């Protein structure tokens, strides 16, 4: 008996060493890590959890492999032996072990995951609970549509932060370093908008030259919410959006609709052909920040994280869609970048025209010149540098401006 355990332990240790060397060593051959760069405060704990789970998995793998190898080596049949193996059943002690041990492992994993996720969601749903532990200080409205993203910047009460002449929304995600950002995520149909415009054009064409009171079509709910500027407007639009979502879900489930729900669904703008104003679900994800959240049509979801460093020219990070959403899914990517707070404040106030050059491709090079505060001039110079050398890194840019 003693010898058996000794051999089992030997197989266990050997398998553990080989599989651990493979797991941690293979990426070194490729010159990197299994994980992308880390950009957020929240990502650190997630990575630790990931590696913790990896180690638990390696140990379980080595245990199973040890038994398999032991069985193969010591219980293999002699050549020509075609008889059945011994039938064994009813080992109470063994059954207790294989129920209790996995239960403990799963419970430990669940508790560790809960602690990490709970800590990452400080104040996300309960501002009062956040206190000084690092709740969000900036809100970004994230709208996913087929196929792209829009980002709008707000304070936590929903008031827009962009200046008078600034565009409402940005197709790229620009974030200030150090602020905890709460992302309000929604799949807000691009088709809703396109569908309305198409319908409007069609109606105008049909009645060319004649007055057509029907040519003006009400914006859809998603657009209304987007366009609302006061907190009350937004709350009202959001409330309606929630009711529409519930009514649609009830309809899809085959439940009886209330009178209010029926009226609501009938009042929605309808277009020719399919229900073009309904977009599909997407998922908002910046791999370097680790956290992701679904973007659901009609239902707002939230995620928050704090970018802890600025992005450099080599940090070509992107917002990607993590939910297979259709033919354009692979192209549903937007550039993202993190800049210093004062540069961010300046960026928010830029007019539509000025923002043309203030893209992430240039803002990343911007970050090579920390301490400069004449951002207008810097942008002009940087735009010139990247025009001549789109691949310019910090060194090239610094040399060009020296
Ligand atoms: Cu997608």
Residue 274 has pLDDT above 60, yes or no: no
The alpha carbon of 35 and the centre of ligand 1 are apart by a number of angstroms equal to: 21
What residues contact residue 348 under an 8 Å CB cut-off, 6+ apart? Answer: 153, 161, 162, 163, 166
Can you point out the beta strands (E) in 171-245?
173-176, 181-187
Confidence of residue 276 (pLDDT cuts 50, 70, 90): very low
Output the pLDDT for position 317.
Answer: 94
| Cα of 134 from ligand 1 centre, angstroms | 31
In the predicted structure, residue 85 carries a pLDDT above the cut 70:
yes
| Cis before 292? omega within 30 | no
Q: Which residues surround ligand 1, an ion (CB under 5 A)?
A: 282, 321, 325, 329, 332
Distance in Å, CA 142 to ligand 1 centroid: 14
Domain ranges of the chain: 2-76+91-120, 127-188+279-401, 190-267
**What pLDDT, in 10s, does the model give residues 104-126?**
999 999 999 999 988 888 767 66
Rounded to 5 degrees, φ, ψ at 151 are -130, 130
Position 278 scores a pLDDT of: 56
The rounded distance, in Å, linking the Cα atoms of 304 and 289 is 10
Closest CA to 348 of 198, 157, 153, 196: 153
* 98 C-alpha to ligand 1 centroid (Å): 40
31-76: per-residue pLDDT in tens?
778 889 999 999 999 999 999 999 999 999 999 999 999 999 988 8
Interval between CA 348 and ligand 1 midpoint (Å):
28
> Is the per-residue pLDDT at 130 higher than 70?
no
pLDDT at 103 (0 to 100): 95
CA dist., res. 305 & res. 40, Å (int): 6
Does 375 have pLDDT greater than 80?
yes
Confidence band for 273, pLDDT divided at 50, 70 and 90 = very low
Asked if residue 278 lies in contact with residue 189, where contact means CB atoms within 8 angstroms, the answer is yes
> Which of these ranges, 70-79, 149-158, 273-282, 389-398, has the smallest mean pLDDT?
273-282
Q: Which contiguous run of DSSP H or E holds residue 232?
A: helix 231-253
Tell me, in angstroms, the distance from the centre of ligand 1 to residue 149's CA.
Answer: 10
Dist. CA 221–CA 269, nearest whole Å: 9
User: What pLDDT, on a 0 to 100 scale, did the predictor assign at position 107?
Assistant: 96
Å from CA of 53 to ligand 1 middle: 28
Distance 325 CA to ligand 1 centre (A): 4
Q: What is the pLDDT of residues 258-268, one digit of tens each?
A: 999 888 888 77
Rounded to two decimals, the pTM is 0.77
Distance 326 CA to ligand 1 centre (A): 7
Going by C-beta distance under 8 Å and a sequence separation of 6 or more, which residues neighbour residue 218? 269
Average pLDDT estimate for 280-285: 90
Determine if residue 372 is left, alpha or beta; phi over 0 gives left, psi from -120 to 50 gives alpha, anything else beta: beta
Answer whether residue 134 shows pLDDT above 50: yes
C-alpha of residue 334 to centroid of ligand 1, in Å? 12
Residue 321: which pLDDT band, with cuts at 50, 70 and 90? very high
**68 alpha carbon – ligand 1 mean position (Å):** 42
CATH number of 127-188+279-401: 2.60.40.420
Q: What is the pLDDT of residue 222?
A: 67
pLDDT at residue 221, as a whole number: 63
pLDDT bucket at 275, cuts 50 / 70 / 90: very low
CA separation for the pair 56, 113 (Å, rounded):
14
41: buried, middle or exposed (CB in 10 Å: 19+, 13-18, 0-12)?
A: middle
């Amino acid at each position: 008996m003693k010898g058996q355990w000794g051999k089992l332990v030997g197989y266990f240790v050997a398998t553990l060493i080989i599989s651990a060397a493979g797991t941690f060593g293979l990426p070194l051959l490729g010159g990197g890590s299994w994980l992308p760069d880390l950009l957020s405060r929240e990502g650190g704990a997630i990575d630790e959890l990931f590696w913790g789970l990896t180690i638990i998995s390696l140990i379980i793998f080595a245990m199973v492999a040890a038994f398999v190898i032991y069985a193969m080596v010591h219980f293999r049949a002699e050549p020509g032996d075609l008889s059945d193996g011994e039938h064994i059943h009813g080992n109470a002690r063994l059954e207790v072990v294989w129920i209790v041990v996995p239960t403990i492992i799963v419970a430990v994993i669940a508790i560790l995951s809960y602690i990490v996720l709970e800590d990452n969601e400080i104040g996300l749903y309960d501002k009062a609970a956040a206190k000084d532990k690092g709740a969000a200080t900036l809100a970004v409205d994230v709208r996913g549509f087929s196929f792209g993203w829009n980002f709008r910047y707000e304070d936590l009460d929903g008031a827009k932060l962009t200046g008078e002449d600034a565009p409402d929304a940005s197709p790229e995600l620009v974030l200030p370093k150090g602020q905890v950002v709460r992302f309000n995520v929604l799949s807000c149909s691009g088709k809703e908008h396109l569908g309305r415009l198409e319908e409007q054009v069609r109606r105008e064409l049909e009645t060319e030259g004649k007055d057509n009171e029907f040519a003006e079509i009400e914006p859809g709910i998603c657009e209304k919410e987007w366009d609302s500027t006061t907190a009350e407007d937004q709350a009202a639009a959001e409330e309606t959006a929630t009711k529409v979502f519930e009514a649609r879900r009830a309809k899809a489930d085959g439940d009886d609709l209330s009178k209010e729900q029926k009226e609501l669904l009938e009042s929605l703008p309808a277009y020719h052909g399919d229900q073009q104003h309904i977009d599909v679900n997407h998922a908002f994800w910046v791999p370097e920040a680790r956290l992701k959240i679904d973007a659901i049509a009609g239902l707002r979801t939230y995620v928050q994280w704090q970018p802890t460093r600025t992005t450099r020219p080599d940090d070509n990070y992107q917002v990607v869609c993590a939910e297979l959403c259709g033919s354009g899914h692979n192209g549903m990517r937007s550039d993202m970048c993190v800049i210093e707070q004062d540069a961010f404040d300046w960026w928010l106030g830029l007019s539509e025209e000025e923002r043309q050059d203030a893209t992430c491709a240039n803002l990343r090079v911007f970050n090579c010149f920390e301490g400069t505060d004449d951002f207008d001039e810097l942008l002009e110079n940087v735009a010139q540098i990247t025009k001549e050398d789109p691949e310019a890194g910090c060194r090239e840019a610094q040399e060009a401006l020296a």
